[in-house]
Amino acid sequence: MGLAVIVFLGLVGCAKKPSPAEPLHGLLYNYDSTELFFSTPPEHMNARVVDDQIDLFAQAGVTVLMCNVNAQRTNYASDCFDSFWTGHDPQAGDDQPFLQDMAPQSRAGYRNMISSMRTLHEQGVDYPAHVIARCRHHGISPWISLRMNDTHNNNEVRHPIHSTFWKEHPEYWRVQGRRIDYYDRTLDYSHHAVRDRFWRLIEEVLQRYDMDGLELDFMREPYLFKPGHEQEGGKILTVWLQEVRKLVKQTAGRRGHAIKMGVRVPADPVTAQNLGLDAVHWAEQGLVDLIVVTPRWATIDTQMPLMQWKRMLAAYPVTLAGGLEIREQAYPDGPARIALPQTAIGAALGVLSSGADVVYLFNYFSTLTRTIDYWPQKTWLQTLRALSSIDTLASLPRRHLLTFHDVFAPGEATDYPLPAKGPRLFFRVITGPKPVGRPVQAVVELAPLAGETVAAPALAVNSAVCDLQGREQNVFTYSVAQSALQDQVQVVEIADVLSNPIQVVHVEITVAGR
């Protein structure tokens, strides 16, 4: 243990007792470590740009901001991690060694990002500290979010996004000697050196930044142990988290206020446990105050078993958050796009009505100069403001899609609901409170089998036959009678009128606004 740590721990004994933690409420938002810098040219980067972004979050009704500060590198000048700009020569061009293993078309954008980070640092602005101060100005609760195993671009081993540690220690990769799966090159937490590396980062941010909470993001990436060693590894991880919790409490004593601890874990509790990420056990042990259950990235997950999570966590003082991703996709490798606002509204309503205490957003970007598809800034602001209220969400137009879990432990059977084949098929669609007095439709898409022409199937919702309203190619829309609707879940039955096999590739329930 270093001298600085000994001194730090020595201060705890004379610190005042921290105030008790309160449950989280409102809207939780994770802000990526690179987004602001990627979208801001270095010549325009300054403290005011950071303030403007936090001001925008305040307008959107964000109550808790997760300030992500790292992937494999940090967006501030760290003493224990490479900074994003470490090794970059600002006077050299795109052909410099630091960038040479990137695709030529990607170099300018990446250089812009790290140059903006460096510019802010050279202006004397400590980015995480400045974000925290501006959050407190608006009454937003500031957290630091740490990605615990990020391996973006791991197929490009010399990409500048990678840390020196990762490149120099392939013996710490989860799977060695080959790369078949995307996650084979994540770091293996069974190695003390890996845990110690992240311990030092946790220690640093706790010492440097006066946060309300520390989030350990295990969804970047959730594969922390080599296949078959997840249960043994999970025990190691739990012991390590006990020490992290002690450090957080010691820091809270020094700061004089509570510091919460949160984790992001896979959507299904069985999968989380099978990966060694046993968040329910962590809650039982008093190690966490916030559990975010979420997809990784592939799609907004409308099938998260939040009722089960809520029951398992009922005895513990833990906030349960349902995480929403920005992508929508019905099945792996199927058509995908940025999630529509109506999709996010439907998913958020499903999350809150299924037992989550709060909604948590990931990758829902918007700046004063840059937005994402389907989300102009006015729409972004209006939608985010609605996401913390069941009543408000229930009054808005919404889509309830059938999607899938995008994370499984090694050896788990994948349970993708789509595509589905058979003469008669059933699907469960989570819709939240029963809509009253508003048009409701069921929309399904069929794919042809063996080149056959697709005919309109018979469709029922909760055993009530629905009338076909329209067809556009192989997409069929049906009206759903008010008397057919149930609270929370609608069971959609799709059958071929001649009892021949059909293939369903998309299912959704849409509800008109009030």
Given a cut of 70, the residues of the chain with pLDDT beneath it are 1-21
Tell me the pTM: 0.94
What region does 334 belong to: left with phi over 0, alpha with psi -120 to 50, or beta?
Answer: beta
As a whole number of angstroms, the distance between CA 263 and CA 214 comes to: 9
Burial of 56 (0-12, 13-18, 19+ CB in 10 A): middle
Measured CA to CA, the distance from residue 259 to residue 203 in angstroms comes to 14
Q: Which two tokens stand for residue 460?
A: 């029922």
Position 379: which residue type?
T
Q: pLDDT value at position 20?
A: 52
Other Cβ atoms closer than 10 A to 91: 6
Integer Cα distance of 33 and 201 in angstroms: 15
pLDDT at 53: 97
Strand-pairing partners, residue 455, are: none
pLDDT digits (tens, 9 = 90+) for 242-257: 999 999 999 999 999 9
pLDDT attached to residue 5: 35
